[in-house]
Structure 1
Amino acid sequence: MDGRGLDLGGGSSNGYSARPISVQTYRDACARLTGQIFGDGSLYAFGPDTKAPPPLGETFAWGIYAGETLIGWSFSHQKDEHTVYMADTGILPEHQGRGLYTRLLPQMLDTFQTAGYTLVQSHHRATNNAVIIPKLRAGFLIQGLNLYEGGLNVALTLGLNDTYRGAMHVRSGFQAASGEVARRLGLPSTLQPKSPVPESVPLPGGQGDDTDLGGGYVLRRVAYETYYDIYTQLEAAVYSSVSLNWSTPPHLEPPAYPRYTWLIGFENEVVGWHYSRQWDARTAYMVNTALLPAHRGRGLYSRVLPPVLAALEAEGYDLVRSHHHATNNAVLVPKLRAGFRLQGIQVDDHGVMAVLMLSFGTLYRDYMDVRSGLKQPVGEVARALGLETP
């Protein structure tokens, strides 16, 4: 982006644009508009400043305009010798939901890379999917959660080179270390084994009518035993992640719980599956979804989610929980777009996992926003938390 700014769409005269602005202009806009943009959030009120702020280093400030009217901003500054920190982006509510942030983001990232940075970091309220989704689609990876004066934040980092991104996949257990990534991590290089080409598995009969997923694909409800038999046949062709290899089998049998299983079919062959089970009295757990490599990148996961979620809701669940490698954006993005919210990071047998939760009702959804600090408690959620204003 040069000094003339960037066209963000909507026509030349009254459309949207982004232009470089001074830090003072950015601060003046914050003072004037912050209440309108972030007024519903919950932020701890510190007392008077006792220390001068540290120097910012290199700064990057852009104003977002509708015609000639400033309606938002984005401000970033140098954090260290490798990192630029995207500190603050705000757009007036009446101009949100129009893709402005998504169109501005690539231009900012190009500017940071040209300036010589290796990493781009940002923090966002953990339930603010409107910002988290475009960040993940741009290649940012979830790197943690922290509880701070504004609530619960998710930390995101973008590596402006492939090596750092690869290192994060190794850290999460999503991929094995190899080549330059392994060298930089001080790990032995392991060639990623090629997934075996599976023999075709005929699509067995199901329970009830199929769901048409479009493009010749169907979703078919089946018995758990049918699913599990096919899962064991095709598992090696689907997964390339690095899980803990226990030296002994489990000593206990798994607890009994209701299970819900589907197969994904194409031309009368199995190309994927989904397995969910009960987690607790209110919650279903989406255990496992997989597609054979040749059928990925076609939007199938996004098309499988609605009928599976509808079936779980019909079973009486209030919530749906799932876990995914924290760097597996190909799954995290469609889950967040479907309404799931990030609720945690955990380490288990499979690696560093992001915990997601979907609420079918508004109460728990509002509760998550209150806990993250994104919204103030009002109405039903305020009553449920005992925080009603007298």
Structure 2
Amino acid sequence: MTDLDLGGGYTLRPIPVAEYRAACARLEGQIFGGNWLYDFGPPTRVPVPLGETFSWGLFHADELIGWQFSHQTDERTVSMADTGVLPGHQGRGLYTRMLPHVLDTFRAAGYTLVTSHHRATNNRVIIPKLRAGFLVQGLNLYEGGLNVALTLSLDSAYRDAMHVRSGFQQAHGEAARRLGVSPLPRPDAPPPPGLALPDDAGPGTDLGSGYALHAVPDATYRHIYAQLEAAVYDTVSFDWPHPAPLPPLAAPQYTWLVGHAGQVVGWHASRQADTRTAYMANTALLPAHRGQGLYTRLLPVVLAFLRDQGYDLVRSRHHATNSAVLIPKLRAGFRLQGLEVGEHGVMAVLMLSFDDPYREYMDVRSGLTRPTGEVAQRLGLDGGS
């Protein structure tokens, strides 16, 4: 790989592993000094031998201001083990511009999978990774805190298989063959009925481009949902053989319809989850109205409403491989909190805090930052060192 111009005077340049290690020793305190690590002390065993290695330096003019180091972990996988950029050069899109060049190198070298691990609340890195096609695979606790594991498949069938595993889509084609399954035939879904906005829809909040969000009673939302559900979801849920045995919890419900040209094209439902948490339970748009940034525009309207209701926290769950929803949620300030298996599949759990110290607390729990100030006080710690 030759030097690559990243624009703005920045260059990505291959460097020897020894130069990468020397740069780490010299600069990692400036880059990662704010993280919260457990000090194991001196290692007790010699390092595990690495497979093939890839090391690049990030240069501004002739000054090395960061790096990317990756290494082979098995016969089909390369790990993006370490990326660092000096604080004065962060926030300029360098990671996003560097990433496709690094991935092209792995693809040309014949790898099938690319893995990486990041602090679970480090949205500045997680978002560009998801945009590049990485998918959330899990979370684990380690000496640095709480890590999220991401995997990019350079094999399209395996990428489809990850969606199947999460329940985001049904097995089909090559993915179904490799998984050794064959989906049952399903009748073709009829086109969605055109439903006019009901008479009891509120006046609506403008979402731009002719769209509006209208508050409606819960019963109206459920009536619309029942008519349009089949046209909205391609996901695969567990088919319970009997109706739910208990009535819904008696908690406040907040329901809206998305309208366009007098027609219902989507909805959102939230509800109270506990004494300080709202749960964003369901959002959907008809296929013809997706890919226009509508979810991103709807999100701040709903969050502002929930904040005005007095909630401290907002929780939501989404299929772990549904990056089209995870990305706008993370951009809005939600943080990955976990994975759980439910009737709809493997779901990523997200949390947004309207309370600044609690938001910082989530970063402390993940190890992204050290406990200081009010967060340290609330944890009963001396955060002065």
Structure 1 length-normalised TM: 0.96
The structural deviation recorded for 1:204 is 2.0
C-alpha distance in 1 between matches for 2:343 and 2:187:
20
CA distance in 1, matches of 2:311, 2:183: 45
Over the aligned positions, Cα root-mean-square deviation in angstroms equals 1.2
Matched, 1:90 2:84: yes
Native 8 Å contact 1:258 1:277 kept in 2 = yes
- 1:30-179 matches, cutoff 5 A: 30-179=24-173
Aligned counterpart, 2:371: 377
Q: Which residue of 1 aligns with 2:242?
A: 248
What is the deviation of 1:193?
Answer: 6.2
Q: Structure 1 residues 95, 264: closer, same or farther in 2, change over 3 A? A: same
Length, aligned pairs only: 384
1:258 to 252, 256, 270: 252
Q: Answer yes or no: is 1:283 the counterpart of 2:277.
A: yes
Residue identity opposite 2:94 in structure 1: L
Q: Which runs of 5+ in 2 are unaligned?
A: none
How big is each residue's C-alpha offset from its partner over 1:52-96, in whole Å with a ceiling of 9 and x where there is no partner?
111111111111111111110000000000100000001011111
CA contact (8 A) 2:338 2:349 kept: yes
> TM-score, with normalisation over the residues of structure 2?
0.97
Q: How far apart are 1:191 and its partner, in Å?
A: 5.9
> Aligned in 2, Cα 1:195/1:357: closer, same or farther, shift over 3 Å?
farther
Tell which deviates more after alignment, 192-201 or 324-333.
192-201
Secondary structure, counterpart of 2:6 in structure 1:
strand
1:99-138 deviation per Cα after TM superposition (whole angstroms, max 9, x unaligned): 0000100111110000000000000000000000000010
Preserved contact between residue 210 and residue 261 of structure 2 (Cα < 8 Å)? yes
Residue aligning to 2:205: 211
Shift of 1:388: 2.3
Aligned-residue offset at 1:49: 2.0
Question: Share of identical aligned residues, percent?
Answer: 68
Once the two structures are superposed, residues 282-338 of structure 1 have per-residue CA deviations (whole angstroms, 9 ceiling, x without a partner) of 000000000000011000000000000000000000000000000000100000000
- More displaced stretch, 45-54 vs 285-294: 45-54
Please say if residues 124 and 154 of structure 1, whose CA atoms lie closer than 8 Å, have aligned partners that are also in contact. yes
Aligned to 1:363: 357
Paired letter, 1:308: V
The alignment partner of 1:204 has SS state of: coil
Match of 1:270 among 242, 264, 269: 264
Any conservation in 2 of the 1:178–1:192 contact (CA below 8 Å)?
no
Task: Pick the aligned partner of 1:235 from 204, 229, 235.
Answer: 229
Q: Quote the Cα distance in structure 2 between the aligned partners of 1:190 and 1:105.
A: 39
Aligned to 1:330, what secondary structure does the other structure show? helix
Map 1:333-372 to 2 at 5 A: 333-372=327-366
The answer to whether the Cα contact below 8 Å between 1:145 and 1:155 also exists between their aligned partners in 2 is yes
State the AA in 1 paired with 2:369.
Answer: K
* CA-CA distance at 1:6 after TM superposition: 1.2
Alpha-carbon spacing, 1:137–1:240, altered in 2? closer, same or farther (3 Å): same
Q: Provide the C-alpha distance between the structure 2 equivalents of 1:209 and 1:106, rounded to a whole number of angstroms.
A: 45
Structure 1: tracts of 5 or more residues without a match: none
